[in-house]
Amino acid sequence: MPTTVHFATNRALTGPATDVASYGNDIVPPTDPTAITYATAFVDNANLTADTVGAITAIENIRTGGFSQSAIDDLSHPGRNLLVFIHGFDNSFENAITRAAFNQQWFADSHLAGADCAMVAFSWPSIGKLISPPLPWSDYFHDQTKAGQSGAHIMSFFANLLPIITAARASGVRVNLLTHSMGNWALQGAVESWFSHGQGAAALFDHAILAAADEIFNSFAYPAPGRLSQLRDLAAKISIYYSRNDAVLDVSRLVNLGAQRLGQQGQQNPTDATLFPPSIYRTLDCSDVNDYAYDFASSHQYYRRSPSVRTDIAGVL
């Protein structure tokens, strides 16, 4: 049975919205939330053992500026928890949506209560490439720029989700956020935009899970509403997963002229109970996790490749 992924994207369309190939690498106007495409994708079942995902078989319920009534009805009364996913660097549109479906199935496969979630994804216009000649870092900087420019669009996406979340939570479900890698760079732009535009504290998420964050490690220490300083006003709890053995973030730190990443050693001053009250923040060191096949790329994907880390996240869900 196909996996359903409701999604929003600020990728500029190059053709019909029903065609996966139409979702390109350019961004719609950053100040125009009505240009965001909202739709529902159906993905062939993932092969969990082989760590592969199936293809997108259909895209339906397409609208701009907000979800279709069908999607709103489905998400408002999902019968299970909701999981909002924002992908990272080097993800094409198809990668982003199939990865969302893959995560949904993998967490459901944990058989932990509440881990089988309805999936909502936001896809920002990553170019979907790791390194391209002649400038090896140009793809990274493309993605970092587009992720940052997506902040206002993700803010609008969150605003559209808020009444849906309110309705869903009234039926007893939890709503969680999972952001991976450079998705956290996009998230900080959204949080900053939310409060800079006069939006107040809101019960968006029961738990925000920041995995292998390609975001600066002092993001929470910025004066409000800078960067992630006010995420705690949108999420009741926040979990930060990091690894000193994340080889991809080692390269990111090099490219960013030595700026330490949140996903390398966690946040700055983690023992400061005023800045990081234990009732809200949870920090997990995954450096010694060794229950998966480790290589350069997988060192940055432990949140889904490691059975023990997956189980921990499923427990949070």
Chain segment 90-124, per-residue pLDDT in tens? 899 999 999 999 999 989 988 888 899 999 999 99
Provide the pLDDT for residue 239: 98
Average pLDDT, stretch 48-76? 86
Asked if 6 contacts 43 with a C-beta cutoff of 8 angstroms, the reply is no
Q: Is the pLDDT of residue 52 over 70?
A: no
242 versus 2: the higher-pLDDT residue is 242
Provide the pLDDT for residue 10: 98
Which CATH code fits 3-316? 3.40.50.1820
Tell whether omega for the bond before 225 is within 30 degrees of 0, i.e. cis. Answer: yes
Encode pLDDT of 259-285 as tens digits: 999 999 999 999 999 999 999 999 999
Q: Is the pLDDT of residue 173 over 60?
A: yes
SS3 317: coil
Provide the pLDDT for residue 248: 94
Amino acid at 239: S
Asked if 89 contacts 181 with a C-beta cutoff of 8 angstroms, the reply is yes
Encode pLDDT of 116-156 as tens digits: 999 999 999 998 776 665 556 788 999 999 999 999 999 99
Residue 53's pLDDT band, with cuts at 50, 70 and 90, is: low
Provide the pLDDT for residue 243: 98
Mean pLDDT of the chain: 93
Q: What are phi and psi of 137, to 5 degrees?
A: -105, 5
137 versus 62: the higher-pLDDT residue is 62
Encode pLDDT of 26-44 as tens digits: 999 988 889 999 999 999 8
Query: β-strands 205-211, 37-43: how paired?
Result: unpaired
Asked if 42 contacts 157 with a C-beta cutoff of 8 angstroms, the reply is no
Q: Is the pLDDT of residue 300 over 80?
A: yes
Average pLDDT, stretch 209-228? 98
The rounded distance, in Å, linking the Cα atoms of 286 and 130 is 24
Asked if 23 contacts 66 with a C-beta cutoff of 8 angstroms, the reply is no
Report the range of poorest mean pLDDT among 27-31, 72-76, 172-176: 27-31
Q: Is the pLDDT of residue 1 over 80?
A: no
Reported pTM: 0.95
SS3 37: strand
Provide the pLDDT for residue 50: 46
Percent of all residues in the chain with a pLDDT value above 90, rounded to a whole number? 86
Provide the pLDDT for residue 45: 72
Q: Is the pLDDT of residue 195 over 70?
A: yes
How many beta carbons lie within 10 A of that of residue 163, not counting itself?
Answer: 11
Of 144, 151, 6, the C-alpha closest to 71 is: 6
Residue 167's pLDDT band, with cuts at 50, 70 and 90, is: very high
Provide the pLDDT for residue 132: 60
Helix segments in 171-296, DSSP class H: 183-196, 247-255, 262-265
Average pLDDT, stretch 167-196? 97
